[in-house]
Amino acid sequence: MSADTPAKNPTKTHNLRVDGSRLWSTLMETARFGATPAGGINRLTLSDEDRAVRDWFRDACEAAGLEVGTDALGTQFALRRGRDMSRKPIACGSHLDTQPTGGKFDGILGVLAGLEVMRSLNDAGIETEAPLLLVNWTNEEGSRFAPAMMASAAYAGEFTTDEILAKRDAKGVSVGEALESIGYQGGEPVGAREIGAFVELHIEQGPILEAEQKTIGVVEGGQGIAWFDGTVAGFESHAGTTPMPRRRDAMLGLAEFALAVERIALAHAPTAVATLGEAEIVSPSRNVVPGQIRFTLDVRDPASAVLDAMEAALNEAAAEIGTRRNLAIALTRIWRKEPVPFHPHLIAAVDGAAEGLGLSRRRMVSGAGHDACNLAGRMPAAMIFVPCKDGVSHNESESAEPADCAAGADVLLHTLVTLANAPQA
């Protein structure tokens, strides 16, 4: 590795770009792990498919000269040494797990772009002052084990390691058992590895950048999220003999409440969103008026005050509908994450990198939760977005352009180099 650093030879990194074709090739290569017939990926966390892509990632990182370690929750860390190893590493990364019908870019882009950054710096013989660190966080998606983003949350101190290891999937398998079965319960204590700053590249998972024909989203923070479990209690009765006015139909109560959810979210447009994601009739039957329903509700907005107002309005609607229809509609908040502002210095570094590369950009807030949102409570963090086709994500048709992926990786590269070579405070 060359002794010339960007500080001594600024031209060397000014013109540096990643190998976009190599990045695209790795994206397509890793898509075979858990590939679905419809062209997507089913790579649930800690599955055999996840083990396979982790093995590939470990081998690719070691081939790039990185030092790979794994913590007790299976998170993989790949270190590129710097000139001053006393400095905390500047980190990047995301996740390699997917939804059951996921795509080729959600999470994976951030990890493989980080690998491409390391490879490109190696190719150019560039050494940074601070070391660089690439991270694959375990279980970002939360589709097999809840909560989502569990490993980064544990790293940030929101859960203990034992609490996460005890979480179980729908089949009763614990995180600890799943880690042991694929051989990825590492020896590093969770949270012991210090990180100076974290930058995450991700597809936007929304339509804004594509609609505005912008290449880069400079993410200023993540919006707040509140999750609720709900029940509607009515009364089961015969579908053929119970007159309509005498029914206590839980399904109709939920239908009316669902429309109230839409109305309340629209009242706080354009920022608020709310989603009834699951609904289950207890003991369903074709010829029985539904008496018991369980459902889930996801509410999001960039402002805490709006989350408060929406929760109050939702409870008021549940009470009013329940009284009028002779039902009991209960809403229980099970989790809330406050809006997360990213670090101004890192936001400026991302913005400056995009400007220096001549890329169109806009400031924005992340509508989805990401590992960077958890990590922002422990260290300076920021995110870079690139467009995805039609704003579609968590879907097998999820797609992004090679040029946009390469542009995002270029911004990541220049952001990391800037941060790693910045004078220590």
CATH code of residue 369: 3.40.630.10
Q: What tokens does 168 get?
A: 């179980």
| Amino acid 7: pLDDT | 39
Residue at 287 is within a domain? yes
Domain boundary pick from 296, 313, 337: 337
| Amino acid 6: pLDDT | 37
Residue at 367 is within a domain? yes
Q: What is the pLDDT along the chain (425 residues), one digit of tens a residue?
A: 333 333 344 446 788 999 999 999 999 999 999 999 999 999 999 999 999 999 999 999 999 999 999 999 999 999 999 999 999 999 999 999 999 999 999 999 999 999 999 999 999 999 999 999 999 999 999 999 988 999 999 999 999 999 999 999 999 999 999 999 999 999 999 999 999 999 999 999 999 999 999 999 999 999 999 999 999 999 999 999 999 999 999 999 999 999 999 999 999 999 999 999 999 999 999 999 999 999 999 999 999 999 999 999 999 999 999 999 999 999 999 889 899 999 999 999 999 999 999 999 999 999 888 999 999 999 999 999 999 999 999 999 999 999 999 999 999 999 999 999 999 87
The reply to whether 138 and 32 lie within a common domain is yes
| Amino acid 14: pLDDT | 80
Residue at 5 is within a domain? no
The reply to whether 49 and 160 lie within a common domain is yes
The reply to whether 199 and 232 lie within a common domain is no
Q: In sequence order, which residues have a C-beta less than 8 Å from that of residue 409 and are 6 or more positions away?
A: 18, 20, 23, 113, 116, 117, 201
95 is in an annotated binding site: yes
The reply to whether 77 and 148 lie within a common domain is yes
| Amino acid 12: pLDDT | 66
Q: Cis omega before residue 387 (within 30°)?
A: no
Residue at 263 is within a domain? yes
The reply to whether 309 and 401 lie within a common domain is no
Residue at 390 is within a domain? yes
The reply to whether 354 and 367 lie within a common domain is yes
Burial group, residue 166, by CB count within 10 angstroms (0-12, 13-18, 19+): exposed
202 is in an annotated binding site: yes
The reply to whether 58 and 140 lie within a common domain is yes
Residue at 313 is within a domain? yes
Residue at 136 is within a domain? yes
Residue 279's domain spans which residues?
A: 224-337
pLDDT tens readout for residues 129-165:
999 999 999 999 999 998 899 999 999 999 999 999 9
Burial group, residue 309, by CB count within 10 angstroms (0-12, 13-18, 19+): middle
Q: In 3D, which of 200, 103, 110, 95 has the Cα closest to residue 140?
A: 95
106 is in an annotated binding site: yes
The reply to whether 262 and 346 lie within a common domain is no
Q: In sequence order, which residues have a C-beta less than 8 Å from that of residue 209 and are 6 or more positions away?
A: 215, 216, 217, 362, 364, 385, 386, 387
Domains held by the chain: number? 2
pLDDT tens readout for residues 48-63:
999 999 999 999 999 9
| Amino acid 9: pLDDT | 43
pLDDT tens readout for residues 342-384:
999 999 999 999 999 999 999 999 988 899 999 999 999 999 9
The reply to whether 318 and 328 lie within a common domain is yes
The reply to whether 130 and 198 lie within a common domain is yes
Quote the mean pLDDT of the chain. Answer: 95
238 is in an annotated binding site: no
Domain boundary pick from 284, 317, 337: 337
Residue at 4 is within a domain? no
The reply to whether 87 and 195 lie within a common domain is yes
What SS3 class is residue 189?
coil
CATH code of residue 332: 3.30.70.360
The reply to whether 191 and 60 lie within a common domain is yes
| Amino acid 53: pLDDT | 98
Domain boundary pick from 337, 357, 392: 337
- Amino acid identity, residue 178? A
Q: In 3D, which of 119, 142, 150 has the Cα closest to residue 132?
A: 119
148 vs 423: CA distance, rounded Å:
36
Q: What is the pTM of this model?
A: 0.88
- Amino acid identity, residue 186? G
The residues with which 278 forms a beta bridge, in sequence order, are 296
